[in-house]
Amino acid sequence: MATVYKTQGAFLKSCVFLGVVLVLAVSVKGNSEGDALYALRRSLSDPDNVLQSWDPNLVNPCTWFHVTCNGDNQVTRVFEHNPRLEGPELLGLASYDTNCS
């Protein structure tokens, strides 16, 4: 009988460990849209500091100012109100297709 409890205890510990690993893997994965937007931010001159909320430690860029997302937390629009930003990447941004589906 003691062997059954040891086996069940080991199985339970394994399940808990696997669950923790899966949760950590999902949270560490990050967000490729957030990574791309933060890379864009680093290449821009932001004299009015309007992009200060663009924090790479916040996994979801939908919480950042000047970023609009759909119901699935996918970025659909950036810089809706045209903040005063400067940088080489902005030259073609006005004509960029933002269809992220």
Q: Please report the DSSP string for 27-55 in residue order.
A: HHH--HHHHHHHHHHHHSB-TT-TTTT--
Q: Which amino acid is at 15?
A: C
- CATH architecture of the domain 31-101 equals Alpha-Beta Horseshoe (3.80)
Which pLDDT does position 92 carry in this prediction?
53
pLDDT, mean over the chain: 70
- Its pTM stands at 0.56
Which pLDDT does position 69 carry in this prediction?
93
**pLDDT (mean) for 53-70:** 89
**pLDDT (mean) for 57-78:** 90
Percent of the chain whose predicted confidence (pLDDT) is above 70: 55
pLDDT digits (tens, 9 = 90+) for 73-94: 899 988 877 677 777 665 555 4
Q: Which amino acid is at 62?
A: C
